[in-house]
Amino acid sequence: MASLFTRIIQGELPGRFVWKDEHVVAFLTIRPIRPGHVLVVPRKEVDYWIDLEPELANRVMSVSQTVSRAIQNAFQPKKVGLAIIGLEVRHVHLHLVPVNEVRDLDFAKEDPNASPQSLDEAAAKIRAALRALGRKEVAD
């Protein structure tokens, strides 16, 4: 059975994509810790990040760096935190979260009721920042 993320990638479920390329996508989580919380996901369904083929792992990290730069520019946090956990969905995904202090990366602070408007606004800001960086992989 396809993972939740595979279903989003294939368009079976909605997603607020900010990045799409041949191997990797990035979209906003519907349960953000902070505005601008993005998931970077390989299209290939792999459960555990240590099982990614090195070339794909490098691509996932490269996209994460680029999207993090856009998040940095769009939201102006002190840093963009990175977490790889993978317990909630068994498909590799990297969490990119704008943070100003360590407590900002606390998953207990997820917003289960984030408004569609706030998610749309965050996605638009990140897409604009990616375009300003000259990226062509920006998802519309």
Helices of type H across 12-137: 54-75, 116-132
Q: Is the pLDDT of residue 1 over 90?
A: no
pLDDT classification of 140: cutoffs 50, 70, 90: confident
Report DSSP state, residue 42: E
The model's pTM: 0.96
Q: Is the pLDDT of residue 119 over 90?
A: yes
pLDDT tens-digit map of 16-42: 999 999 999 999 999 999 999 999 999
**Domains in the chain, ordered, with CATH?**
4-132 (3.30.428.10)
Distance CA 6, CA 116 (A): 21
What phi and psi values does residue 98 have, to the nearest 5 degrees? -65, 130
Distance CA 109, CA 34 (A): 8
pLDDT tens-digit map of 106-115: 999 999 999 9
